[in-house]
Each structure stands twice: as C-alpha cells, then as structure tokens.
Copies of this chain bind each other. A is one copy, B any other.
Amino acid sequence: MATRPRNSTARTRAELHPRFRILHRSQVALGPGKIDLLERIEATGSIGEAAAGMSMSYMRAWTLIRVMNASFRDPVVSTERGGRLGGGAQLTETGRAVVAAYRDLERRSLAATTTPWRRLQALLK
C-alpha cells in the first residue's frame, strides 16, 4: 500500500514565510513593502500607479521613498516633471541594485533552508 510522502508541502499545506527587514539609524531602510513598491515603480514608471496597486496612498508611497532615499548613499527613485503623463518616476541605478540584492538575499535564504524546513514539515500535522 502506497503511503504519501511525509515531507511534501501538499500533505501539510504549511507555508514558510520569511521576511527580511533592514534597520538603519533607527529606521526600517528596507523591507518587503518597500521592495514591492520599488518593483511596481520600475514596472509602471509611476509612483501613483505603484501606490494604487498596493492600495497605498500617494503620500504614504512618498514617505517610504523618502526613508529609502535618506538611508542609501544615492536616491533609489528619480522623478521627472512634465513628460507624457505629467511626470514619471523610475528606479536609479542604486534602486535597481537594492532590489536585485534583496531578491538575491531571499532566493539564497530559501535555497539554503530546504533541509530544516522539510524537518519542520515532517513534524507538522
């Protein structure tokens, strides 16, 4: 009689949720929400659209951007007045490097933790 594998995610339906925050001078310089915002700005070219996609106010998005711009050596977002839609926004070279490093950090963590994660899954109902 076949038994189902004890370690499968399908069996336990358990999910591992890692979250990485970077604290810098008493502020959260970076976390999942800020990275999400940066990626949406990159995709849409607009702070307003990026914010709307996260059900976040334009003001709130700007606050997050200000914290990041103050935390990193160079700004992470650059904006331009005028333009086709009345001013666009895009990631700077630093902004793109920050997103890439953060996502790389997540990927490496995930790849490195397979063994203990399977061990935990086997202990779950």
Residues of B within 8 A of A70 (CB): 125
The answer, yes or no, to whether A1 is at the interface (CB within 8 Å) is no
**Oligomer copy total:** 2
Chain A, range 56-74, C-beta contacts under 8 Å to B = 70-74
Complex CA distance for A29 and B117, rounded to whole angstroms? 13
Most buried by B among A20, A71, A73, A111: A20
Q: How many residues of A contact B (CB 8 A)?
A: 41
Complex CA distance for A124 and B23, rounded to whole angstroms? 11
The answer, yes or no, to whether A10 is at the interface (CB within 8 Å) is no
Q: Is the CB of B15 within 8 A of A22?
A: yes
Residues of B within 8 A of A85 (CB): none
Q: Is the CB of A113 within 8 A of B123?
A: no
Q: Is the CB of B22 within 8 A of A16?
A: yes
Q: Is the CB of B24 within 8 A of A124?
A: yes
CB nearest to A97 among chain B residues? B123
Stretch at the interface among A38-46, A47-55, A101-109: A101-109
Residues of B within 8 A of A73 (CB): 123-125
